[in-house]
Amino acid sequence: MDLIIATFNLQNKLKFSKYSDKDKKHDYPSNLKKLISTYKIDILCVQELTKLYQNRLVDIINNKYKLVGDYRFSKLGSHIPLIRKFNESTAIISKWDILYTETKHIPSFYSIPRVITEALISIHDMEIKVFNTHLEVLFPKIKQKQLNWILKLLETETKEFILMGDFNSTVADYYFKDFINRLDKIGYKRVEINEQTHKSLELGIDHIFIPKHWKVKSINVINMENKISDHRPVIVTVSL
C-alpha cells in the first residue's frame, strides 16, 4: 500500500503587521487546500499554524480531513495580545481516522516554547503513530537537548511511527547527525531530502523519518511560485 505524507512550515503570517486572514495577493488556506488535493496527500504535518489560519482552513477542508494539535501557549494564548502572534501549533492533518492525539511540550528553557504533536492514525487494518515538531531556531544546545528528549520519547513507542517537521537543523549539524544515527539504531531512517527547503539555506531543514523497511517511491520538494511561505513543502510517497 502506498501512503503520501508531507511536511510544510506555513510561515506565521500573523507576524506581518497588515495580515488578517489573507492579503491582496494570496488566500493562504485555500492555497494549502489546493496543495493537499493536487498531490493527494494522506497525512500532512504543518508548523507555524495560527488560530486564525486554522479557523479558515477547517472550514475549507470540511469533513474530508481531520486536524489535530494544540498550541505552544495553549488555546488561551490566542486571546492574550502580547503572545497571540506567537501562539502557533504543530498540527497533523489526516484523511484517515485519528484514534488518539496529544501535544507535549519539549525542553525550551530561555527560548520560545516548543511542542510535539502525536496522533495514532488508523489506515485500513494498520495503526501508525505520526509525530510532528518544530524545533528551536537559534541555539544549538537547546536543539540538541530537544532532539535527545524526542529520541527518548520515540524509544518507548510500540507502534511504527513517522516523524516529520521543521527541525531547524541540516545534515551538516553534528547534533543532527547524531540524532539520525541514533534513530537508525532503533530501526528508522531519514528520507533523503537533499534539496533546499527554506529560502535562505542551501541544505534542507524540514525532515521526514520512517521505518527502515518502508520503501521510498518518490520525493518532491515543491517550489511554491505563489510564495505562500518561506519554506517549501516536502511530499514523499512511501510503500508500506
DSSP lists the bridge partners of residue 91 as: 46
Return the domain boundaries, the chain: 2-239
Q: Please, what is the Cα angle at 131 between 176 and 222, to 5 degrees? A: 75
Q: What is the DSSP string of 47-99?
A: EEE-HHHHHHHHHHHTTT-EEE--BTTTGGGGG-HHHHTT--EEEEEESSEEE
DSSP lists the bridge partners of residue 71 as: 89
State which residues of the chain have pLDDT below 70: 15-26, 74-84, 225-227
- Classify residue 74 by burial, with Cβ atoms within 10 Å: 0-12, 13-18, 19+: middle
Query: With respect to CATH, is domain 2-239 assigned 3.60.10.10?
Result: yes
pLDDT at residue 175, rounded to an integer = 95
Instruction: Give the DSSP letter of residue 150.
Output: H
pLDDT at residue 201, rounded to an integer = 85
pLDDT at residue 160, rounded to an integer = 97
- Residues 23-48: pLDDT tens digits? 556 678 888 999 999 999 999 999 99
The rounded distance, in Å, linking the Cα atoms of 8 and 234 is 6
Between helices 140-155 and 174-185, what is the axis angle to 10°?
10
pLDDT at residue 103, rounded to an integer = 96
pLDDT at residue 144, rounded to an integer = 95
How is residue 34 written as a grid cell? Answer: 489546493
Considering the entire predicted model, what is its pTM?
0.93
pLDDT at residue 56, rounded to an integer = 83
Name the 3-class secondary structure at 151. Answer: helix
* Residues 6+ away with beta carbon under 8 Å from 82: none
pLDDT at residue 17, rounded to an integer = 58
Q: How far is CA 201 from CA 82, 197, 232, in A?
A: 30, 8, 12
pLDDT at residue 52, rounded to an integer = 82
pLDDT at residue 24, rounded to an integer = 55
| Of 105, 191, 111, the residue nearest 149 (C-alpha) | 105
CA 207 and chain centroid, separation: 9
Q: Which amino acid is at 70?
A: D
